[in-house]
């Protein structure tokens, strides 16, 4: 079992650009959540996908959007990047046994 996998591991973008991050959930998990973790802080919930629909959303602007595919993998898209979007982006898949996280994507906006 490969667990939760995320790509890419690191990314550098310029302000105003758009970025897409990808996540494959743990085998057997159908729910994917995305979190943003700024340096020195705990992860903050962005949104959650289930059955290809956004099921719930945290306090993030519409510049943050996502998608879930029939195989349960998911993408996080961020438009019009700001310097403040620089963070570690974490994907989690979940079941009754709790949440399992990937290694994250480190996004740096310059």
Query: How far is Cα 2 from Cα 88, in angstroms, rounded to an integer?
Result: 21
- Within residues 27-56, the interface with other proteins by CB under 8 A covers 31, 33, 35, 40-45, 48, 50, 55-56
Q: Which of 6, 36, 68, 74 binds other proteins (CB under 8 A)?
A: 6
Q: Which of 19, 87, 90, 109 binds other proteins (CB under 8 A)?
A: 90
Query: How far is Cα 3 from Cα 62, in angstroms, rounded to an integer?
Result: 29
Q: Give the residue with the Cβ less far from other proteins, 20 or 99.
A: 99
Q: Give the residue with the Cβ less far from other proteins, 31 or 68.
A: 31
């Amino acid at each position: 079992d490969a667990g939760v996998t995320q790509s890419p591991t690191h990314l550098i973008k310029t302000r105003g650009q758009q970025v897409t991050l990808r996540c494959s959930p743990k085998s057997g998990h159908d729910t994917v959540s995305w979190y943003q973790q700024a340096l020195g802080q705990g992860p903050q919930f962005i949104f959650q996908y289930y059955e290809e629909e956004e099921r719930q959303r945290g306090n993030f602007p519409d510049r943050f959007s996502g998608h879930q595919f029939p195989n349960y993998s998911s993408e996080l898209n961020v438009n019009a990047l700001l310097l403040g979007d620089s963070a570690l982006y974490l994907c989690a898949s979940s079941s009754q046994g709790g949440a399992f996280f990937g290694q994250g994507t480190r996004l740096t906006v310059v």
